[in-house]
Structure 1
Amino acid sequence: MGFEDDWRSWHASRESYAGAEYGPSALESTNWLITEPAAVDGVPGLWALTGDGGIRGSDLGTAGASVTLRGTETIRFGRRELRVFERNGTIGLRVFNPQRPQRQRFSAIDAYPPREGWRVPAVFEETPGESITITAVDGEEQDSPVAGRLHFTLDGIPLSLTVTRGAQGALSAVFADATNGIETYRFRFLPVDEPAADGSAWIDFNRAYLPPCAFSDQFVCPLPPAGNRYTASIRAGERAVILGR
């Protein structure tokens, strides 16, 4: 498969994921619960933390039925699906609704045409023991280990990209550039292939993609660290969500 065909296949899978029945566009609410039972919009019963990493729903209809959710367990009430969400040890309850207007209106993801010129060579520098403070869109902060930095050149200007490792060990970055808020969403995510043993690597900005919070403001995405905010315009990758009428 050629470069452009490979990119178009990736882009099609991204659109399929984004508009899926219970995909990111369907996130209706993120509810930060306490141990005191409280109502959650759109679903029956009262919901509270169990104190041991779970969520308990009570008064769920006849005979005071109850349920406890932990980990990846889910439950549906009608079309709405409830999922447990954990962040920095804090547990929340997420409600996904395929009938959320933004999901029903989801049409496509606008993107720049793929260009091999946006696949740039880089040199990977490991940074053992270093961490940075990551701020989420809602202001929550947490320290995150830095996997390293990728040093590269863009239009003759030397730059670096700070990358971290996800739960599955893959490298990724969050970055912002001069197109944000004009041509593109306010920031974007970027997967990074594992560098070679000699530190040589590639950064493919064609694979820059929209964070989940571009599809629903109920996601709490991490913002780009200071070193990943560029004054240059990176016209590659996904641009914005397209909604139909």
Structure 2
Amino acid sequence: MGFDEEWHSWHETRERYAGAEYGPTALESTNWLITEPAAVEGVPGLWALTGDGGIRGTDLGTSGSVVTLHGPQTLRLGRRELRVFDRRGAVALRVFNPLRAEREAFGGIDAYPPRQGWRIRASFTETPGESATVTAVDGSVHEQTLAGRLRFELDGIPLSVSVTRTARGGLTAVFADGTNGIETYRFRFLPIGEPDDDGTVIVDFNRAYLPPCAFSDQYLCPQPLAENRYSLPIRAGERAVVRGR
């Protein structure tokens, strides 16, 4: 499979994922609970934290049944699906609704045409013991360990990007550029391959993708670090969600 074919296959997979019945466009609410049972909009019963990282629902249906959710467990109530969301020990109940208006209007993901020139050679340097302050879109702040920095050139201008590791261990970056708010969403995510033994890695901006909060404002995405904000336009990768199908 050639370069263009691989990119189009990746792009189609991304669109299927985003528009899936219980994909990111279906996220209806993120509900921060307490130990006292409370109602959640659109969902029957009363919901509360269990104290051990789980969520308990009571007064479900005429039988008054009780259900407890932990970790990756999910629960379907009618068309809605309930999931546990754990943000560094703070637990919320997420509700996914395939009938959410934004999902029903989802028409795809607009993206720049793939171009080989956006595959850029970079050098990776580890940053042991270094961390950075990350601010999420809801204003929450936390310290995150940096995996390293990538150094490369765009249009002859030397740049660097600080990268972290995902929960699965892969390298990733959050970046902003001169297209944001005009041609593209406010920031984007960028997957990074593992460097070679000499620290060389190919950064493929064609694979820059929209964060989950582009599909639903109920996601709490991390924003780019100050050093990952560029005035240069990076016209590669995903641009914006297409509405109106």
* TM-score bucket (shorter structure): over 0.9
- Local SS of the residue matching 1:158: strand
| Matched residue type, 2:142 | Q
- Local SS of the residue matching 2:38: coil
**TM-score, normalised by the number of residues in structure 1:** 0.99
Task: Look up the match of 1:237.
Answer: 237
Task: Look up the match of 1:176.
Answer: 176
Task: Look up the match of 1:40.
Answer: 40
Task: Look up the match of 2:104.
Answer: 104
**Structure 2: runs of 5 or more not aligned:** none
Shift of residue 62, structure 1, vs aligned partner? 1.8
Q: How does 1:116-127 map to 2 (within 5 A)?
A: 116-127=116-127
Aligned length: 245
Distance in 2 between the 1:201 and 1:65 partners? 54
Q: How does 1:1-245 map to 2 (within 5 A)?
A: 1-244=1-244
Which contiguous aligned blocks of 4+ residues in structure 1 show a shift greater than 3 angstroms?
none
Shift of residue 188, structure 1, vs aligned partner? 0.2
- Local SS of the residue matching 2:235: coil
Distance in 2 between the 1:89 and 1:144 partners? 15
Instruction: Name the Cα RMSD after superposition.
Output: 0.6
Deviations 1:23-51 (A, max 9, x none): 00000000000001100000100000000
Deviations 1:75-126 (A, max 9, x none): 1111000000000110000000000000001011000000000011100011
- Local SS of the residue matching 1:11: helix
**TM-score, normalised by the number of residues in structure 2:** 0.99
Identical aligned residues as a percent: 71
**Structure 1: runs of 5 or more not aligned:** none
Shift of residue 63, structure 1, vs aligned partner? 2.9
Deviations 1:153-187 (A, max 9, x none): 00111000100011111000000001000000000
Shift of residue 151, structure 1, vs aligned partner? 0.2
| Matched residue type, 2:241 | V
